[in-house]
């Protein structure tokens, strides 16, 4: 079995360990102690927030595509956003979101490099926004833990360096030249070179990403507001301005592709951070599991329908 196939098992093993160490009985008790009526209203409110989140995510991507002179119907992009959100929720490191590349290629007949650049720009904005929120969180939590800033700062610096290095064509070509010469078969070299040039030639300029970045920030605040609403229903009560950056830190950790949908790594991070506010592990685990299941199902139903019924593909040929 290949190593990449084993990586998700790490997260599953970690998740099982968290369940066992926390205590299945305690986790079940935390569910039983919930005020069911309050949970229903909180859940309904949280689900309604999915509407502006999806619209804003689509708008952000629409603006990026527009700067690349790729114009597609907004409704079509909403469908793609739903499909990619579903796939990203069931793949390690949310890599499933890149499924949008194949749909864009099929719809517009654009080369891979051009289609890929818009999706990667979208993901980079997510990553940068999460890193900024996580860094803010580490500064806020420094009064509770003197090591948190150092622990968050190192991966954030590494991420920013990687992004800075590879969004520059000249800088990245220095490294990718080795891949091109020694790892890409001769019959694919011409196509790889074309994709490389198209990717950088069509990648949006920084000034064109300012508005999409602001939309990204708003999207993540809404996402964490959803989670905060659900946390309140589980009697997890910490100040809102601490909650958002804490969950940003956990989200950055879940991007490590060693688990599916961040299972295990998210719970471990949240248990560690929320312990600073005296929140019991069983409450954290039960809240996290509940919201992951609900949010995944919300996008799974339409996402599976659109993806496996081939609606996106058939509509373009009408």
Query: What's the pLDDT at 1?
Result: 44
- Distance, in Å, from the CA atom of 71 to the CA atom of 93, rounded to the nearest integer, reads 28
Query: What's the pLDDT at 317?
Result: 43
pLDDT, one tens digit for every residue, the chain (318 residues): 444 444 555 656 776 777 777 778 888 888 777 878 888 899 999 999 999 999 999 999 999 999 888 889 999 999 999 988 888 877 776 777 888 988 888 888 888 888 888 899 999 999 999 999 988 888 888 878 777 877 788 888 888 888 888 787 777 776 766 666 655 777 667 777 777 778 888 888 888 999 999 999 999 999 999 999 999 988 888 999 889 888 888 888 877 665 666 667 788 888 888 888 889 888 988 888 888 888 888 888 888 888 776 555 444 444
pLDDT, one tens digit per residue, over 187-223 is 667 777 777 778 888 888 888 999 999 999 999 999 9
pTM of the model: 0.83
**Contact (CB, 8 A) for 22 and 221:** no
pLDDT, one tens digit per residue, over 84-94 is 888 887 777 67
Q: At what angle do helices 281-308 and 265-274 cross, to 10 degrees?
A: 150
Query: What's the pLDDT at 259?
Result: 61
**Contact (CB, 8 A) for 104 and 70:** yes
Structure tokens at 189: 């070299």
pLDDT, one tens digit per residue, over 79-115 is 999 988 888 877 776 777 888 988 888 888 888 888 8
Phi, psi (degrees; rounded to nearest 5) at 317: -100, 0
- Distance, in Å, from the CA atom of 155 to the CA atom of 41, rounded to the nearest integer, reads 38
Query: What's the pLDDT at 188?
Result: 67
Q: Is the dihedral of CA 86, 88, 92, 96 positive or negative?
A: positive
Number of H helices and E strands in the chain, helices first, is 15, 0
């Amino acid at each position: 079995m290949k190593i990449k196939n084993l990586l998700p098992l790490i997260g599953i093993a970690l998740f099982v360990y968290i369940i066992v160490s926390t205590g299945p009985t305690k986790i079940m008790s935390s569910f039983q102690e919930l005020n069911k009526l309050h949970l229903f209203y909180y859940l309904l409110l949280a689900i309604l927030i999915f509407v502006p989140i999806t619209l804003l995510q689509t708008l952000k991507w629409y603006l990026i595509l527009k700067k690349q002179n790729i114009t597609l119907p907004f409704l079509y992009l909403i469908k793609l956003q739903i499909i990619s959100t579903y796939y990203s929720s069931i793949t390690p490191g949310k890599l499933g979101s890149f499924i949008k590349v194949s749909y864009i290629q099929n719809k517009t007949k654009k080369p891979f490099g051009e289609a890929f650049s818009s999706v990667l720009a979208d993901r980079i904005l997510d990553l940068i926004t999460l890193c900024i929120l996580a860094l803010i969180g580490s500064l806020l939590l420094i009064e509770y833990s003197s090591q948190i800033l150092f622990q968050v700062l190192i991966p954030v610096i590494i991420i920013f360096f990687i992004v800075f290095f590879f969004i520059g064509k000249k800088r990245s070509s220095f490294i990718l030249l080795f891949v091109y010469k020694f790892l890409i078969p001769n019959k694919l070299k011409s196509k790889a070179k074309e994709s490389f040039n198209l990717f950088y030639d069509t990648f949006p300029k920084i000034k064109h990403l300012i508005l999409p970045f602001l939309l990204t920030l708003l999207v993540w605040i809404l996402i964490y507001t959803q989670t905060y609403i659900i946390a309140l229903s589980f009697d997890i009560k910490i100040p809102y301005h601490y909650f958002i950056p804490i969950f940003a830190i956990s989200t950055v950790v879940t991007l490590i592709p060693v688990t599916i949908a961040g299972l295990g790594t998210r719970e471990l991070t949240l248990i560690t951070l929320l312990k600073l506010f005296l929140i019991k592990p069983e409450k954290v685990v039960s809240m996290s599991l509940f919201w992951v299941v609900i949010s995944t199902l919300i996008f799974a139903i339409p996402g599976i329908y659109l993806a496996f019924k081939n609606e996106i593909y058939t509509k373009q040929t009408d």
